[in-house]
Amino acid sequence: MTTRRIGSLTVSPIGYGCMSLSHAYGTPPSREYAEQMLNRALDAGYTFLDTAALYGFGANETLIGEVLKGRRQEFVLASKCGMFRNEEGVREINGRPEAIRKVCEASLTRLQTDVIDLYYLHRWDRNVPIEESVGALGELVQEGKIREVGLSEVSAETLRKAHKEYPIAAVQSEYSLWSRNVEIAVLDACKELGTTLVAFSPLARKFLTNTLRDLKQLEENDFRSNMPRFSPVSYACNLQLLDDYLPLAEEAGCTPGQLALAWLLKKAEHIVPIPGTAVLAHLEDNIAAAEISISDDLFTRVDAVINQQTVVGERYPEKAQSEVDTERF
């Protein structure tokens, strides 16, 4: 399998987003099944695992630390600070240097490791200059507690400001056929600066796998229920896009999800998708997408079927959108 670079780190071309093992998509899998998923991810060839202090309010980091502490040298570990549960038990965006340091120390303990390979600022705290937050992350690098600095959901302007303070190895942002905001400016800025674009939700939160045909499949506590694209009216419109997309996957000889990942890998060399799943079979399908090659013609046709002009609905509700520093079409 080929590899890709994130700063000084070498990773599998497709990483594993671990969030769904503890957070956001309804009832998480059992501990036993989650252990199977993590171990199987490494066995299948994933060498890049992504988590955050926010996911399950520490539960996801704890899971990874307990399950994979004996295999720590087999993978590049990414986590995030800047958005977590505060002492009052409320989710908080806080990018102050002292908060970043405190969250990092707690994450190191939960992850049962001496160093986090890639550490992101999960959200830019608009009350704190980005240079201050990034400066604190740079200090953690100097102290040997993290290896590379990343940002999540930031604009090209913010990325450039941050990069002047300390080299930014990666920007993590939602990127898929149906979420193209990074194409406005961030993708090019990353290429210019030597920064990797780590694409989360590359399968459009299951939409591109063709396995979410009915919104009744979602549990009440699944956060997709509050996303505009998953409203009944919008989702019915979006499902029609699959009528033209699914035959393209058949033509490529792969699953719909694999085609979406292959499209991202072909888009640019500085992109690393991190699909998340709590289904063992999907875990194996996703990593296999790294071996799929699609022609320029098929790439163009896929690109034309599902894009920012054909998808109905915003990706976040307005409140959540206000928390991200990203360009919008």
How many other CB atoms are there within 10 angstroms of residue 109's CB atom? Answer: 13
Which residues form the domain of 68? 4-205+257-292
Q: Could you give the number of structural domains in the chain?
A: 1
Q: Is the pLDDT of residue 78 over 90?
A: yes
Mean pLDDT of all residues in 98-106: 97
Report whether 208 contacts 178 (CB < 8 A): yes
Q: What confidence category does residue 26 fall into, taking pLDDT thresholds of 50, 70 and 90?
A: confident
- In terms of DSSP bridges, do strands 196-200 and 146-152 run parallel, antiparallel, or are they unpaired? unpaired
Mean pLDDT of all residues in 143-170: 98
Catalytic pick among 16, 46, 55, 119: 55
CATH number at residue 78: 3.20.20.100
Beta-carbon contacts of 301 under 8 Å, excluding residues fewer than 6 positions away, are 248
Q: What is the mean pLDDT of the chain?
A: 97
Residue at 310 is within a domain: no
Residue at 319 is within a domain: no
Report whether 202 contacts 261 (CB < 8 A): yes
pLDDT in tens, 222-262: 999 999 999 999 999 999 999 999 999 999 999 999 999 99
Residue at 216 is within a domain: no
Q: At what angle do helices 130-142 and 156-165 cross, to 10 degrees?
A: 40
How many other CB atoms are there within 10 angstroms of residue 128's CB atom? Answer: 19
Residue at 316 is within a domain: no
Q: What is the pLDDT of residue 88?
A: 85
The answer to whether residue 55 is catalytic is yes
Tokens matching residue 93 = 């965006």
- pLDDT > 90: percent of the chain: 95
87 versus 71: which is more confidently predicted?
71
Q: Where are the alpha helices (DSSP H) in 1-96?
A: 31-44, 59-68
Strand partners, 5: 10
| pTM greater than 0.95 | yes
Mean pLDDT of all residues in 91-119: 97
Q: Is the pLDDT of residue 69 over 80?
A: yes
Q: What confidence category does residue 289 fall into, taking pLDDT thresholds of 50, 70 and 90?
A: very high
Among 91, 77, 121, which residue's Cα sits nearest to residue 274? 77
Q: Is the pLDDT of residue 295 over 80?
A: yes
Tokens matching residue 42 = 């490494």
Q: Where are the beta strands (DSSP E) in the chain?
A: 4-6, 9-11, 16-17, 48-50, 76-81, 83-85, 91-93, 116-121, 146-152, 170-174, 196-200, 271-274
Give the CA dihedral 178, 181, 184, 190, nearest 10 degrees. Answer: -110
Residue at 161 is within a domain: yes
Residue at 64 is within a domain: yes
d(CA 86, CA 110): 16
Q: Is the pLDDT of residue 23 over 90?
A: no
Q: What confidence category does residue 133 fall into, taking pLDDT thresholds of 50, 70 and 90?
A: very high
Residue at 74 is within a domain: yes
Residue at 95 is within a domain: yes
Q: What confidence category does residue 87 fall into, taking pLDDT thresholds of 50, 70 and 90?
A: confident
